[in-house]
Amino acid sequence: MWVFAQSPLDRQSHLRASSEHLNGWRNHPDRNIIAFDKQQRILAAKSDPDSSPEALSFINLSEHIDNAELNENTLIFLGTYQDTPWFGYELDVFPQSLEQQAEWFEVWPNLGLLEEPFASILAYAKALLYWHQTHQFCGQCGGATHVKNGGHERQCGRCERMQYPRTDQAIIVATTFEDKLLLGRQKHWAEGQYSVLAGFVEPGESLEQAVQREVMEEAGIPVTDVQYLGSQPWPFPCSLMIGFTAKAEHMRTQLFDDELEEVLWISPQDYLDRIQAKTLRRPRTQSISGHLIKHWLASHQLQLP
């Protein structure tokens, strides 16, 4: 299973609006607080400069900060796991007590160091905190909003309009014709990097329609037999990647805009040969895009080396 999709948390959605329950979780002696800065970097233990880390070791901010120092507006309740409450938190000032043992880490470059179940909890916190950063004011009257329901709602202090966390749905699809897979590449990607096609779902559109539209828009190819494979929360910044397979009606490609620099059809063995020759970059196995490619190879009794 890909990363970010295995959260063990009970979100306690039926209880988190209760002040009594929230206060109990906030004052729990064993609570866990995952801290981020305003750039959405995570607070984790410093790595050993003489060795490569196997995983990010997160810092439980609860062990280094008193309740009186916590900003309630950026302390977001996530849920409980084995009766222990978890929170996400935006930290304004780096605690002096942590200067020798912790530092900020970018999530994307360190994707390979994230392990479950922590990775899924991290993604959940990161997406919620981003939403809070970008919804400080009401879209209806412009009034300031404030946190409600443990951080899962915001309410305007002027017109009382409620706001709820936003998730941007995007489809990602492994498009095949006979044994070949369709790959695309954006011009700003690293040399040799290709992936299956993806795009955001538009208003009033079904997921299957989004698959058909995106493949046509990006590669000029009509597709049929659209089949759901799985989904992945993707906190960059707050998306849900919904994975599909689809069959192309032909292999004649056409680029209509500048979104993709190139598209290509590739056979399973040619794909592996180019990975071996390092003219193609290996997919991120933590992502659903990497899983779609592995699924395609497996359907031909092949796997990545």
In order along its 305 residues, the chain shows pLDDT tens digits of: 689 999 999 999 999 999 999 999 999 999 999 999 999 999 999 988 777 888 999 999 999 988 888 888 899 999 999 999 999 999 998 988 899 999 999 999 999 999 999 999 999 999 999 999 999 999 999 999 999 999 999 999 999 999 999 999 999 999 999 999 999 999 999 999 999 999 999 999 999 999 999 999 999 999 999 999 999 999 999 999 999 999 999 999 999 878 899 999 999 999 999 999 999 998 888 899 999 999 999 999 999 88
Is 93 a domain residue?
Answer: yes
Q: Are residues 191 and 114 in the same domain?
A: no
Q: Which of 110, 134, 158 is the last residue of a domain?
A: 134
Q: What is the rounded CA–CA span in Å between residue 173 and residue 153?
A: 32
Q: What is the rounded CA–CA span in Å between residue 101 and residue 123?
A: 23
Residue tagged 């305003």 (tokens):
38
- Is the CB of residue 191 less than 8 Å from the CB of residue 202? no
Cβ neighbours for 39, distance < 8 A, ≥ 6 positions apart = 104
Other Cβ atoms closer than 10 A to 267: 13
Total number of domains constituting the chain: 2
Q: Are residues 172 and 125 in the same domain?
A: no
Is 140 a domain residue?
Answer: no
Q: Which of 134, 158, 177 is the last residue of a domain?
A: 134
Is 183 a domain residue?
Answer: yes
Q: Are residues 262 and 201 in the same domain?
A: yes
Q: Which of 114, 134, 154 is the last residue of a domain?
A: 134
Q: Which of 123, 132, 35, 139 is nearest to 87 (CA)?
A: 35
Beta strands 75-81 and 145-148: pairing type? unpaired
Q: Which CATH number goes with the domain that contains 121?
A: 3.90.79
Is 4 a domain residue?
Answer: no
Q: Are residues 187 and 294 in the same domain?
A: yes
Q: How far is CA 81 from the centre of its chain?
A: 20
- Is the CB of residue 2 less than 8 Å from the CB of residue 287? yes
Max alpha carbon distance in the chain (Å)?
64
Q: Are residues 233 and 294 in the same domain?
A: yes
Q: Which CATH number goes with the domain that contains 184?
A: 3.90.79.10
Is 292 a domain residue?
Answer: yes
Is 294 a domain residue?
Answer: yes
Q: Are residues 207 and 114 in the same domain?
A: no
Q: Are residues 182 and 282 in the same domain?
A: yes
Q: What is the pLDDT of residue 118?
A: 93
Q: What is the rounded CA–CA span in Å between residue 150 and residue 208?
A: 35
Residue 199 is part of which domain span?
168-298
Q: Are residues 173 and 245 in the same domain?
A: yes
Q: Are residues 120 and 25 in the same domain?
A: yes
List helix spans (H) across the chain.
19-26, 118-134, 207-219, 268-276, 288-298
Is 280 a domain residue?
Answer: yes
Is 144 a domain residue?
Answer: no
Partners of 89 in the β-ladder: 35, 75
Q: Are residues 62 and 119 in the same domain?
A: yes
Q: Are residues 207 and 266 in the same domain?
A: yes
pTM, 2 dp: 0.92
Q: Are residues 172 and 128 in the same domain?
A: no
DSSP 282: P
